[in-house]
Each structure stands twice: as structure tokens, then as C-alpha cells.
Structure 1
Amino acid sequence: MSLQIFILGVLSSGHHHPYDIKKMFKQNVLDESSKINDGTLYYNFEVMLKKGYIEKIEVIRDDNRPEKTTYGITPLGKEYLEQEIYVSFKNFTRVDALYSSVLFLKHADPKKLMFLIEEAKEKVQNKIKADTAFWEAVRDETPPAVHLIHDHSLSLLKIDLEWLNKLEQLVMAQQ
């Protein structure tokens, strides 16, 4: 799950400070391996601030609390968000790597997305074909535990393909 896509996607709907975004990230994360710490979060804010993708909107100072900086997305950040959504699909390797992009599909051109989803589906279909051909050649020489592992691996590929088909239907419905 891309943290920068998530941050920019959230900021595209309003101004927020990093702690708000961290809470939203935790609420929207469906993958346990996608955790963020404060260092990673603030580092990403600094990088995007330096590149001009986001801007400081307001610094709130309370007497008893640390200051909070509220950020907003810039026009350059909106362009970057759209391009990064396309890049995440172009570089497809795993479904969970697309989660942030899927949350913010409204910031991308549905026609381009359909093309990129088709490419991702082809990648998965090619993996299934290659895996099946290889398995046919070695199946009889492998112990039962390897059969179990192969079944799981192939099932995951089929689930990814099914998920991409559902995503395609979602994008078509939004056109």
C-alpha cells in the first residue's frame, strides 16, 4: 500500500495534519503488513513538501500540546497522485500493493485504468500458464508437501485474477 498515494488522496479532499492521516490509514488498511510509524509518516510529508506536492496551510499552537501543521495538496501534487496511481497499476505484482490506488480511483482516467487493469490481468494469466506448464513437468517428482504449497500458490494467483476482474467491473461502473 503506497503511503504517498494515500496521503495525497486524503489531502485531495481537504486539509489535514499528519496525525489525522495516520488515523485514517489505520482505519483503511486491510493488510496487516502495511503499518506506518511516525518517522516514516513525517519523512513522506517532508519529501512531498520539498517536491511541491503538498503545502503547509496552517500551524496550530496549543499551550500544552506540540504544534500541529495542517497540509493541503497542490496542483502539482494532484498531477503526481494521478500519475502514481497509473504507475502502481503499471508495476503490478501483488493486489495488496494496489490498495491505496483503489481507494482513490476517482483521481484517475477510467479508460487508462481499464487498459492498465487488462495488463495486470494478463500478467497474472501468464503467471498461471507458466506455473501450470512448469508444474506439469515436475509434479510426479515432488513430495506431497510441495503439492500442497503449489496448490496454495496457484489459488492465490486465481484469487488475484478474480479480484482484478471485480476491480474492472467497479471502474466500468464509475464511468
Structure 2
Amino acid sequence: MAKRKISNTLALAVLGLLQEREMHPYEMAATLRERHKDGSFKINSGSLYDTVEALLKHGWIEAVEVTRDGRRPERTVYAPTALGQAEFVRWIDELVRVPAAEYPKFLAAVAYLGALGPRGAADALDERAGHLEARIAETADILPSIGLPRLFMIEVEFALHALRAELEWTRTTAAEIRDGTLAWPGKGAA
């Protein structure tokens, strides 16, 4: 499989928004935040404008209009090109079909959980469980208020399932450490 010219998933979000309607970058950022997509994509103005420039450079989007509202700066409105549309569909298909190697920081930390000792590890997992519970509650609360069809927020539903699974694993592992069913060999057993 050929290496994709653009692999930043923020580009995927931009192309996704442009499926709905033509937009300028400020509107893109506002829409992504309004829909709480900042949990799925890293959104900041600099990276968004860099992403738009990369999409333009590779011919995936094109400027269709420049507007000015009062004394505000000019805003360039973009739309996907036929190439951009084809790449968007191909990219989505690939990401859904083929699991990619991802390297979450939490997995790296869990690999060395033993360094914390049983008490430290159980305490750290308990604290993580509290953070996960809060995140789950916050996400579950905002999801219905967004008012979009389920298909447009399905990644949030997936994220909730993943958070719930992580919470269950975290609680179970902390309990196993505390009750001694997870063996803790060697030094640092305090």
C-alpha cells in the first residue's frame, strides 16, 4: 500500500466537515469544538491552518470564495476537490478495515506498573478509575445535547465503550493487586 501524502487525522476532520458544506478554517475549528470533536482530533489554530495548507498543496481542497465581514480579516472558504473526495473515502475505508498499530502512553506505563509497588500501583489505578468515571459521565451527559444524528457522533459512542472497558480493567486490576491475586514478585512488594 502506497504511503498516504497526508496522514494527519485533522485533515480527515477537515475533509469530513467539507462534506457538509464549504467552510473557512475559523468555522471549521468552531464546528469541531461545538461538536466536541476535540476528543477525537487535536485542534488548535496553527495546526488547523497548516492542515488546510497541506490539503491545498496536494489538491485535496480548493478555495472557492474569499469573504470579509465588516472590519474582520478576509476569510477563505474551501471545498473538497474530486481528488480530495476520493482520498477522503479511500482513507476512511482503510482506517475502518485495517487496524493500525497505535502506541498509547497508558500502555507504555502499564508495561512498567511493577515499578510502583503494589500499593502505589493500586492507588494509581484507583485514581485513574476516578478520572475515567468523570470523563465517562461528562461525555455521556453532552452526547444527547449535541443534537446531531447518531452516525455523525458514532466515534463518541465508540470512545464511551472504550472508556468503559478501560474503567472495568482498571478497577479489576487494582482489586487484584489489593487482594493479592495479581502476584507481585521481587523487591518493591510494599
Alignment correspondent of 1:60? 67
The counterpart of 1:21, out of the listed 9, 22, 28, is 28
**Structure 1 runs of 4+ off > 6 angstroms?**
151-154, 159-162
- Measure the CA separation in 2 of the matches of 1:142 and 1:63: 62
Distance 1:161 1:72, change over 3 A: closer
RMSD of Structure 2 on Structure 1 (CA): 4.2
Distance 1:162 1:49, change over 3 A: closer
- Measure the CA separation in 1 of the matches of 2:88 and 2:127: 35
User: How many residue pairs align between the two structures?
Assistant: 125
Measured against aligned partners, the alpha-carbon deviations of 1:80-115 in whole angstroms (never above 9, x if no partner) come to 2223333376325389xxxxxxxxxxxxxxxxxxxx
Percent sequence identity over matched residues? 32
The counterpart of 1:90, out of the listed 70, 76, 99, is 99
Unaligned 5+ runs, structure 1: 96-126, 165-175
Higher radius of gyration, 1 or 2? 2
Unaligned 5+ runs, structure 2: 1-7, 137-157, 163-190
Three-state SS of the structure 1 residue aligned to 2:62 is strand
Which residues in structure 2 correspond to 1:155-166 (within 5 Å)? 163=161
Which residues in structure 2 correspond to 1:74-113 (within 5 Å)? 74-85=81-92, 86-87=94-95, 90-91=99-100, 93=102
Q: Which has the higher contact order (CA 8 A, sep 6+)?
A: 1
- Measure the CA separation in 1 of the matches of 2:23 and 2:44: 17
Question: How far off its partner does 1:37 sit?
Answer: 2.6
Distance 1:19 1:33, change over 3 A: same
Question: How far off its partner does 1:30 sit?
Answer: 5.3
* Greater share of helix: 1
Alignment correspondent of 2:170? none
The counterpart of 1:9, out of the listed 16, 20, 23, is 16
